[in-house]
Amino acid sequence: MTDHKRDIDEVSGVETTGHSWDGIKELNNPLPRWWLYVFYGTIVWAIGYMIVMPAIPALPGLGMNNTPGIAGHSDRAEVARKVEELHTERAAAASRLVTASLSEIENDMSLQQFALAMGESAFGDNCATCHGAGGRGAKGYPMLADDIWLWDGTLEGIETTLRHGIRHTEDPDTRRNTMPAFGRDGMLTPREIDDLVQYVLNLSGREANRAAVDRAAPVFATQCVTCHGADGKGNRQLGAPDLTDHEWLFGGEPRDIQQTIYSARNAHMPAWQGRLDDPTIKALAVYVHSLGGGEK
């Protein structure tokens, strides 16, 4: 016998648990059978899975990672197999990249698509840190998503830049030019540099001090024309930028221009030959060329 008296809810006729919160009683309804069956089924499934698949972690000190399971399945081995298959597939296309000329790659749609995909991946791993995602560039790092090039913007020219870099002292074939630090090395006075800033502003069609422009004309002729040309249009064989447009690698504000003339910039790009294999360099050239619109 028990002293417990069942508490029956008057409305539903269901026994309560005896708990009450602010006059609200909890009904003691049994769980639905379908829910119980599903719950029991998951327990059976979990036990079966732990037997068949590697699932149970080993205890510390036993020298193993987990139970191997009777199926002998290994995600690590599966990934390794898939990666090996991918390498095999890519090796065939990569070998075609090595033997094909850049123009052949551009005219072969399937090879071009492979090169673009491979180049985009390599760009993200090696180039995007400086040039930004999609080659958008940043101050001090050229934008590659336009068709304005300091050096050669053709497929062959881009490949040469990638292989040998710019001012990469360890590569004798690197692209090289050096702008003098006119102020730091005492080649021009501060007044002459300030006048040159006004001259460059005038070249790019912006408001400038007329008297300063006139004073700077002979200085520009003796110090700058050799690389930038008498009209300031630049020289891509020397990597000398066009001063008449509105594209500025290190900024086009007067203070930026003054700093460039005073200290020079002479940025560096590494030579990727030896760091990347030939197929990757060719793929990168195709990808970068496509970003800029495809200069012929």
DSSP string, 178-244: ----TTTTTSS-HHHHHHHHHHHHHHTT----HHHHHHHHHHHHHHTHHHH-TTS--BTTTTBPPSS
Task: Report the distance separating Cα 262 and Cα 189, nearest Å.
Answer: 9
Report pLDDT for 183.
93
Report pLDDT for 87.
74
Alpha helix ranges (H) inside 53-108: 75-99, 102-107
Report pLDDT for 170.
92
Report pLDDT for 63.
61
Mean pLDDT in order along the chain per 10 residues (296 residues): 70 82 84 94 93 77 70 81 78 76 80 88 92 89 88 90 93 91 94 96 93 96 94 91 91 94 91 91 91 74
Report pLDDT for 114.
86
Q: Do 112 and 105 meet the contact criterion of CB atoms below 8 Å apart?
A: yes
Let me know how long the chain is: 296
Q: Which residue type sits at 288?
A: V
Report pLDDT for 59.
67
Report pLDDT for 272.
95
